[in-house]
Structure 1
Amino acid sequence: MRITTLLLGLCFCFNTFAQNFSFGKVSKEELEEKFNPLDSSANATYLYKYRRTYMQYRQEEGFSLVTEIQERIKIYNQEGFDYATKEVNLYKRGSDDEQILSLKGYTYNLVEDKLVETKLEKDGIFKTEESKYHNQAKFTMPNIKDGSVVEYKYTITSPFYWNIDDFEFQHDIPIKYVEAVFEAPEYFNFKPIPKGYFGFKPTTEAKRDVIRFSSSQRGAGGFNGSNGTTFSSSELEFIKNTSTYKLSNVPALKDEPFVNNINNYRSAVKYELSYTKFPQSPLKYFSTTWEDVVKTIYESPSFDVELDRTGYFEEDIDALISSISDPMARASLIYSHVKSRVKWNGYYGKYTDGGVRKAYKDQVGNDAEINLMLTAMLRYAGLNANPVLVSSRNNGIPLFPTLDGYNYVVSAIETLDGVILLDATSKYSTPNILPFRTLNWEGRIVRKDKSSSTINLYPKEKSKKTVSIIANLKDTGSLEGGIRTVKTNHDAMIYREQYLEADKNQYLEKLENKYTDMEIDGFEVKNEMDLSKPIMESFKFTLENQADIIADKLYFSPLFFLRTKENPFKLEKREFPVDFGYPSSSKYMINIDLPEGYKVEVIPEPLVMTMPDNLGTFKYNISASDKKIQLVIDTEINESIISPIYYEVLKEYFSKMVEKEAEQIVLTKV
């Protein structure tokens, strides 16, 4: 079997290299292909991905970045139609922005054994402003059918030559052949940062190239005294460093639940500007070491200077804390003040945008403005507060010294008892309970002397959920009763975000639909804004068809609608960690009154499961009398992140938990 698979793969590889990847040269064989030979589950496949990124010098403008893209995609079925739409994000800052140029595209179909092409027209191309920092170009290829091949190419020009998008070599569909080229003049030292589990290695080459300069000068002319213009030109030779990547048969990257960001594990390479060295100029470092990164960020006028501004808040803070001497009481008042005063505008950034003074005045700002402001106020109140650089979950994990790796700022108070992390962008956040978007491995705390150190962003204290149900089971199989849920820490914060920011009628409708036609009455939430207390939700409910009636017996799971119905872990093997975000525990206490005239015939056995190294536990205890069943289930996940070496154990743990919760009680009519 292995030999057959190997031969198939080798043949597939040779066929890939034999194909013509010139734009527009789509073959009949590509159109006739019904499925990917190495991944029959794929709905689409990249037949070819090409990217070349290089620097271009214009005498009037200096260096700019140019990226050329060509992609050819095979669509096997309707589920693959989404790959006929391409979204291109274009960065902008102030009056500078990236542009997409020379866009061409065709859809190819086989009609009555003839190749028919349909051109992408202008009415299929859209450009929108996504935010003050990004535009987006979007196009959808025309005339898509089962079996279509789409192909497009375009060029992106960018004035931000230091900001290079990742070269991605893996997607959620397979890639038959990918080719990527990166070129940079010797004046720019870019550090390649690889990631992912599918191996790759570039071939590198150094070539001579030249920059040509021209100039003109007006001066005294010929013998008749007229003015003339003289033209001159010069050349500057330099070394151009080129890295070329060629990969074939790249497997799809399969996503799964509890992944903090699948892009962290996608095979790719990031080019980070390490330093520049121009002729007759000293080296300028950017991100060779963490010290360089911290120095570059801290010395930015949009960071360090903003921390030193105090005049705009001094009067307000003096009035707030003048009668309070306890440092932590002062910190609590300041933290609440910032959360209530300044609203987060949804923008991420390690630098301020309009500045802390403007954000305080306008009562709105990005995360850096809010949390640098908070840090400055805490320092003003006498606390040892410092900013913490963070990479949000959607930004990836900065494993190597990098400027682009950080895109967010929180605040930290360093005390003798440890570090207290604060984020005032969320009004539901509390000390050491950061918004979920920031729970991403480690942050880097930056102090006044520009020293820095890493700090774990994941909480140590568990979030707890307790669910209590008292219910009556009817002989018709219906269930009615009451449920109360109590949540703490991150569970409470996430609940508040979902409930308090939602339309209450829509929230109830979603809750009823979640449990399939549940009728809810007496819905109540307590401690909505008292963040020092757990949040409590309670309501009465009625549900039909909660027990199967067969002859004179009733069959039902004692967890009813709350049971875990499927194992979230389905991959045979997982190479990346399982990220739960935070440690948690849950407890279900269920009391069921049995219908008159029935007795318990079969009841599940108690069970205790423990994962190795105290990663988690599952306890199932049940007892029964003639009139009542009592069930208590305790589950614990004790680590925020679980290594992939425990994946099989974790998968088996959840499989047994699902199986146990599905076990049924059998009642027999007396």
Structure 2
Amino acid sequence: MKQIAFLTVLLFSLTSIAQNYDFGKVSKEEIEEKFHPLDSSANAAYLYKNRNTFFEYSDSEGFQLITEVQERIKIYTQEGFQYATKPIGLYKSNSNKEKVTSIKAYTYNFVDGKIEETKLKKDGIFEEERSKYWDETKFTMPNIKEGAVIEYKYRITSPFYSNVDEFVFQHDIPVKKLEAKFEAPEYFNFKVNAKGYLPVIPKTERKRDRIRLTNKDRNLGQTTNISSSEIEFDKNCSYYELTNIPALKEEPYVNNINNYRASVKYELSYTKFPNSPMKFYSTTWEDVVKTIYESPNFGTELNKSGYYEDDIDALVGAVSDPMKRIALIYNFVKSRVKWNGYYGKYCNDGVRKAYKEQTGNVAEINLMLTSMLRHAGLNANPVLVSTRTNGVPLFPTREGYNYVISCVEILDGTVLLDATCEYGIPNVLPYRTLNWEGRIIRKQGSSALVSLYPKENSSQTISMMANLDKNGTIEGACRSVKTSHNALSYREKYNKANEADFLEKLENKYNGLEVSDFKVSNAVDLGKPVMESYKFVKESQADIVGDKIYFSPLFFLRTKENPFKLEKREFPIDFGYPSGSKYMINITLPEGYKVESAPESGAFMLPDGLGAFKYVISANESKVQLVIETSINQPIISAMYYETLKEYFKQLIEKENEQIVLTKV
């Protein structure tokens, strides 16, 4: 078997070396390939991926950033059809915008012994405005079938040379061969930030290049003299060449898989043009904070107050307790101004308009909230946040943060607030913002890191009364009480859903549970835990073998599958927030039966106080009582504990699935 595997890899390597990657030179072997030689589970694969980013100069536009892309993708299965659609994001700001041109694309299939190519037509290319700052050009390849190979290329022209798109080397599907190049004139100094677990080392060199300048001079307004000159300069070149890049696959409890994707980001540090002073861009977090704070769409908006002063004075004038003032203002903003769904650390239309029209983006709502809290005499400041989808800001860049919340510093610590979250409460932020640390910006311009995670565990307490009959059917009542983030999550799902649909999902979650008398208390009373209760009937909850009955005392509530299946893991385990659960189960046994054997009580813990499991059971002639308590006490657990955590869940599942045995009296 080892010899066969070696030969497969060897043949694959030789094929890769001989492959022609010129555009349009798709081979019969590529189309006939049935599965990826090194990853048979792959639904698709990049056969070739090429990106070339460089600077181009023109007299009319100056320097512009050019990116040329060529990609060849093999579609193995129907699940791989998703890779036949290519979205291209294009940034814009005021009148400046990125443009995509020279789109050329073909689909290749093998039909009747010949390669059949289908060209992408213009009517298959769609343009859409995604937001104030982003447009999107998207195309879907024609004539997609299992086994097809698609290939496309295009060119992006960008006036935003300070913002070079990240070079992404690792994807959700494997990459057979990747080539990338970045060239920048000596006038541009870039800092290189790499992330991920793959070793990515470029080959670098300096080359000479030149640009031609054209001058036009009018002679007494009658004729135009045209002259030209050339300027020679050095340019810094980086070349990347990688082969057989494995797919980066999603794993349970990963914050954002892109945090661990092999990539390189070129961040502009400064420019130095001939006969001009150096211009510095963001190079430290202090520079980033200063740039953001001095923006008219941030600091200037934060300092506006005239539009709300009378309303806030009337609201809190007679209240002296700081926490009550915070709560009053926080709830006022939540009820007054609704979130329009747009993220952003900068205001779009401004806080005055948001207040007047009662709708705004994240920045407008939370900068408004911060300003109101300051007006009320509280030590409030904005906190820059990178959402979970935006990734962890590992390096100081202005794009590192895409969101802003509010923070009040009091004697006992900090109170974090996000008024875009309808069901949020102080220090319970929406899940999208629970991403390591935020950066608080104080009035004097200093900044500091602040943890975004709650200090107290969210709790869930489930009480169940169940009557088990001799046929293995249970009926009874269940009640759950949730606090903090567990309550926030429940309210968002329940309050925004049709109750019939919500009930259907509940019944499907437990595989055919029959629910009646369903009730939710405190769905909108955020000062209290949310409570769900219902009656239920569930068949086939015990195995009947002769005169014995076997069942798990947790019934349908037990954990059945370990979420951690990999042998090893390189990524931290991200639970989002610390939490604890308590199950209290009371079971009435069927008449004529008694307990022959039951699991033993027991407990085990994760090291360093990371978590614990406790199982306490007792039984008499007619009843069984079970109490289970579990906790995960840290929102993020290092990958060094992965094997221990995997074993913890294995033991937890085994314990929850241990059975009680009943026998006839």
Residue of structure 2 equivalent to 1:224 = none
Residues 221-262 of structure 1 show CA distances to partners (whole Å, capped at 9, x for unaligned) of 9xxxxx322212233333222211111111111211111100
Normalised TM-score (structure 1): 0.95
Equivalent-residue separation in structure 2 for 1:9 and 1:542 (angstroms): 56
Residue of structure 1 equivalent to 2:79 = 79
Write the letter of the residue equivalent to 1:553. Answer: K
Are residue 401 (structure 1) and residue 400 (structure 2) matched? no
Residues 285 and 292 in structure 1, CA contact (< 8 A), matched pair in contact too: no
Residue of structure 1 equivalent to 2:335 = 340
Match of 1:506 among 501, 510, 513: 501
Equivalent-residue separation in structure 2 for 1:43 and 1:569 (angstroms): 23
Residue of structure 2 equivalent to 1:131 = 131
Equivalent-residue separation in structure 2 for 1:263 and 1:283 (angstroms): 34
Equivalent-residue separation in structure 2 for 1:348 and 1:285 (angstroms): 27
Equivalent-residue separation in structure 2 for 1:298 and 1:14 (angstroms): 55
Q: Structure 1: any 5+ residue segments left out of the alignment?
A: 222-226
Equivalent-residue separation in structure 2 for 1:281 and 1:303 (angstroms): 29
Write the letter of the residue equivalent to 1:548. Answer: D
Residues 293 and 401 in structure 1, CA contact (< 8 A), matched pair in contact too: yes
Equivalent-residue separation in structure 1 for 2:174 and 2:511 (angstroms): 37
Residues 197 and 265 in structure 1, CA contact (< 8 A), matched pair in contact too: yes
Residue of structure 1 equivalent to 2:318 = 323
Are residue 429 (structure 1) and residue 400 (structure 2) matched? no
Normalised TM-score (structure 2): 0.96
| Pairwise CA distance, 1:5 | 5.9
Equivalent-residue separation in structure 1 for 2:123 and 2:227 (angstroms): 47
Are residue 384 (structure 1) and residue 379 (structure 2) matched? yes
| Pairwise CA distance, 1:202 | 0.9
Residues 55-74 of structure 1 show CA distances to partners (whole Å, capped at 9, x for unaligned) of 22232223332211111112
Residues 53 and 182 in structure 1, CA contact (< 8 A), matched pair in contact too: yes
Equivalent-residue separation in structure 2 for 1:17 and 1:205 (angstroms): 24
Residue of structure 2 equivalent to 1:249 = 244
| Pairwise CA distance, 1:550 | 3.0
Equivalent-residue separation in structure 1 for 2:5 and 2:197 (angstroms): 21
Are residue 194 (structure 1) and residue 194 (structure 2) matched? yes
Worse overlay, 349-358 or 498-507: 498-507
Residue of structure 2 equivalent to 1:104 = 104
| Pairwise CA distance, 1:143 | 2.4
| Pairwise CA distance, 1:123 | 3.5
Are residue 117 (structure 1) and residue 117 (structure 2) matched? yes
Match of 2:444 among 428, 444, 449: 449
Equivalent-residue separation in structure 1 for 2:127 and 2:621 (angstroms): 69
Residue of structure 2 equivalent to 1:34 = 34
Residue of structure 1 equivalent to 2:182 = 182
Task: Trace 1:600-619 onto structure 2 (pairs within 5 A).
Answer: 600-619=595-614
Write the letter of the residue equivalent to 1:431. Answer: P
Match of 2:512 among 509, 514, 517: 517
Worse overlay, 111-120 or 199-208: 111-120
Worse overlay, 511-520 or 372-381: 511-520
| Shift in CA distance, 282/639, structure 1 to aligned 2, threshold 3 Å | same
Equivalent-residue separation in structure 2 for 1:189 and 1:358 (angstroms): 40
Any idea what SS the aligned residue of 2:323 has?
A: helix
Any idea what SS the aligned residue of 1:394 has?
A: coil
| Pairwise CA distance, 1:3 | 8.6
Residue of structure 2 equivalent to 1:629 = 624
Match of 2:579 among 577, 584, 588: 584
Percent identity over paired residues: 66
Equivalent-residue separation in structure 2 for 1:69 and 1:546 (angstroms): 57
Residues 190 and 272 in structure 1, CA contact (< 8 A), matched pair in contact too: yes
Match of 2:288 among 286, 290, 293: 293
Residue of structure 2 equivalent to 1:67 = 67
Equivalent-residue separation in structure 2 for 1:233 and 1:88 (angstroms): 37
Residues 129-153 of structure 1 show CA distances to partners (whole Å, capped at 9, x for unaligned) of 3333323222222222332211111
Residues 367-389 of structure 1 show CA distances to partners (whole Å, capped at 9, x for unaligned) of 11111111111111111111111
| Shift in CA distance, 430/669, structure 1 to aligned 2, threshold 3 Å | same
Residues 13 and 248 in structure 1, CA contact (< 8 A), matched pair in contact too: no
Are residue 557 (structure 1) and residue 552 (structure 2) matched? yes
| Pairwise CA distance, 1:6 | 6.7
Task: Trace 1:219-238 onto structure 2 (pairs within 5 A).
Answer: 219-220=219-220, 227-238=222-233
| Pairwise CA distance, 1:11 | 5.3
Across the two proteins, how many residue pairs are aligned to each other? Answer: 665
Residues 511-569 of structure 1 show CA distances to partners (whole Å, capped at 9, x for unaligned) of 12222222222211112222222111111112222223333332222111111121111
Equivalent-residue separation in structure 1 for 2:8 and 2:457 (angstroms): 50
Are residue 536 (structure 1) and residue 506 (structure 2) matched? no
Q: Structure 2: any 5+ residue segments left out of the alignment?
A: none
Equivalent-residue separation in structure 1 for 2:275 and 2:323 (angstroms): 53
Are residue 418 (structure 1) and residue 401 (structure 2) matched? no
Write the letter of the residue equivalent to 1:581. Answer: G
| Pairwise CA distance, 1:203 | 1.3
Worse overlay, 267-276 or 578-587: 267-276
Are residue 140 (structure 1) and residue 135 (structure 2) matched? no
Equivalent-residue separation in structure 1 for 2:506 and 2:545 (angstroms): 30
Equivalent-residue separation in structure 2 for 1:65 and 1:510 (angstroms): 50
Write the letter of the residue equivalent to 1:22. Answer: D
Equivalent-residue separation in structure 1 for 2:512 and 2:159 (angstroms): 56
| Shift in CA distance, 396/607, structure 1 to aligned 2, threshold 3 Å | same
| Pairwise CA distance, 1:20 | 0.9
Residue of structure 2 equivalent to 1:481 = 476
| Pairwise CA distance, 1:10 | 5.7
Q: Post-superposition, which runs of at least 4 consecutive aligned residues in structure 1 deviate over 4 A?
A: 1-11
Residues 13 and 249 in structure 1, CA contact (< 8 A), matched pair in contact too: no
Worse overlay, 296-305 or 227-236: 227-236
Are residue 309 (structure 1) and residue 304 (structure 2) matched? yes
Equivalent-residue separation in structure 2 for 1:669 and 1:127 (angstroms): 72
Write the letter of the residue equivalent to 1:187. Answer: Y
| Shift in CA distance, 506/132, structure 1 to aligned 2, threshold 3 Å | farther
Residues 167 and 269 in structure 1, CA contact (< 8 A), matched pair in contact too: yes
Equivalent-residue separation in structure 2 for 1:341 and 1:443 (angstroms): 26
Equivalent-residue separation in structure 2 for 1:298 and 1:463 (angstroms): 34
Any idea what SS the aligned residue of 1:497 has?
A: helix
Worse overlay, 547-556 or 174-183: 547-556
CA RMSD of aligned residues (A): 1.9
Worse overlay, 115-124 or 483-492: 115-124
Residues 166 and 270 in structure 1, CA contact (< 8 A), matched pair in contact too: yes
| Pairwise CA distance, 1:125 | 2.6
